[in-house]
Amino acid sequence: MDIFLVRHGEAAASWGEAPDPGLSVLGRQQAEDAATALRQHVGQHTLLISSPLQRALETAAPLARELQQAVHTDAVFREIPSPVPLAQRQAWLRQFMRQQWMEQGDDLKAWRRSALERLLALQQSAVVFTHFLVINAVVGQLMQRPETLCFWPDNGSITQLRHTGSNLELVARGIEMATHVN
C-alpha cells in the first residue's frame, strides 16, 4: 500500500516569527495543487492524517474536501521539538540541519523513531500532511543516511512511500526546493 508524505504549503510567517502560522496565498495554491496531484492516486479508503499545526491542516483541507473525508490529526507528525524558545529556534534548526543523527540526543532519536513506527503501524493507504524535517527524518532513515538533512522537499511536495507489510520503501522523493528554507 502507498503512503504519501506531503510537506505543508508555504506558511504565512517564518519559523522565527510565529509558532503556528497558517498558509500564505501561495501556500493555499500549493495545497490545491497537491490535492489535484494526489487525487489520481487516492480514493475513499485512503486515510488522511495531519500534523496538528495550522499550515499542515490547511494543506490537507482541499484533498479532504474533494474526498469528503475527515482529516485525523496526529502529533507524531508535527515539527521537530526544539529545546529553545521561539526566538532562538531558527538558529537551533540551522545548527541541527548541519549535524548527523548520531550527534542527537535520545529525545530527538525517539521523535524520529515515533514517526517511522506510526507509518509502519498504518493498515491502509494514507496521505500524511507534515513538515520538512519529519519528511527528512523518515526519508533519511529509509535511505540509511547519517545526516539529519538529506534533501530539501519543497512546499506542497509529495514524497511517496510503499508499505510492504513489514517495512517501508522509498518510491519517490518529492520535488525539491530551488532555494533553502526561510
Contact criterion met (CB below 8 Å) for 161 and 142: yes
On whether residue 177 sits in a domain, the answer given is: no
Q: Does residue 129 lie in a domain region? A: yes
Output the pLDDT for position 151.
Answer: 93
Query: Is 181 within a domain?
Result: no
Parent domain of 131: 2-70+77-172
DSSP structural state of residue 174: P
Q: How many CB atoms lie within 10 A of CB 65?
A: 12
What pLDDT sits at residue 179?
63
Q: Taking 60 as the threshold, does the pLDDT of residue 44 lie above it?
A: yes
Decide if 117 is inside a domain.
yes
Q: What is the pLDDT of residue 90?
A: 86
CATH number at residue 91: 3.40.50.1240
Has residue 40 been placed in a domain?
yes
pLDDT at 181: 52
Using an 8 Å Cβ cutoff, are 48 and 127 in contact? yes
Give the mean model confidence (pLDDT) for residues 117-134.
97
pLDDT the model gives residue 180: 55
C-alpha cell at 100: 548527523
Of 143, 145, 91, 137, nearest in space to 110 by CA: 137
Q: How many domains does the chain have?
A: 1
The rounded mean pLDDT for the chain is: 95
* pLDDT value of residue 14: 80
Its pTM stands at 0.95
